[in-house]
Amino acid sequence: WKDYKAVTADLKRIYRASTEAEAQLALRQFAERWDDHYAPISKLWYRHWPNLRTLFDYPPDIRRAIYTTNAIESLNSVIRQATKKRKIYPHDDAALKVIYLAIQSASARWSRPISNWKPALNRFIIEYGERVTQYL
């Protein structure tokens, strides 16, 4: 859509906020600016705020690793992209094969390190000590 960059920039202000109060303010500002065109976006954020707000329970280093590592969204995107190209499948197994091959292809790229992992790992060690270091 034509407003994609502006909308995503305003959404980033929400989840990159330093505190939950700043995030709520950014969400209100987002709703004021974009609800005329994209009301479902702010409605979803408000509806899921009890879950989203837990992001602010973590220190910034861990938070950054969480919101930049969206593995589920990445996997869904891979599956959507593979299945969008084909509208009709002769049988269920054909659809499953397409999904399987798409995941196999994408998994080769998942060997990249997690963005912002080192600062997050250091913070995990500080916060959780032995619970983390025993697995390193």
What pLDDT digit, counting tens, does each position of 97-114 carry?
Answer: 999 998 888 877 777 677
pLDDT < 50 positions in the chain = none
Q: Are 46 and 102 in contact (CB under 8 A)?
A: no
The encoded tokens of residue 71 equal 């593995």
Identify the DSSP state of 3: T
Alpha-carbon Rg for the chain in angstroms: 19
CA 83 to each of CA 3, 26, 88, 99, 125: distance values in angstroms, whole numbers, following the listed order? 26, 35, 9, 7, 41
pLDDT at 60: 84
pLDDT at 26: 96
Identify the DSSP state of 70: -
